[in-house]
Amino acid sequence: MAKQDQLITENTELKLRLVKCKMVSAINQGLKEEIQELNKQNDVLKATCHGYESFLRTFQVKVQDRNVDRAEGGLGENKLKELRNGWKQKQGEEKLNFQKL
């Protein structure tokens, strides 16, 4: 009888441990889902930050080019490229309009 009581006690303890393990497992699963959501948000923020950094670099180049323009009293290389591209685009549009006539 003592052996049976010991086995019943051990069985009860094991059942309690199983319940605790299931609770910990559920908590872990919830934490994993939270971590995945945070990783997604982090990826979005990284992409946004990269976009801002890219814009800032472009803006810094424009500001530096403008400062060079003022210092030299003329047009900087970037401004010339910008004007050439605009002129080429305008010429292309005029060519299309002329062809339509």
Q: Is 73 helix (H, G, I), strand (E, B) or coil?
A: coil
| All residues at 6 or more sequence positions from 76 whose CB lies less than 8 Å from its CB, including other chains | 65, 66, 68, 69
Question: Which of 7-11, 40-44, 88-92 shows the lowest mean pLDDT across its residues?
Answer: 88-92
Backbone dihedral angles phi then psi of residue 73, each to the nearest 5 degrees: 75, 20
More confident residue, 31 or 92: 31
Q: Residue ranges of the domains in the chain?
A: 2-100
Enter the pTM of the model.
0.48
Is residue 54 over pLDDT 60?
yes
The pLDDT-based confidence of 100 (bands split at 50, 70, 90) is low
* pLDDT value of position 68: 66
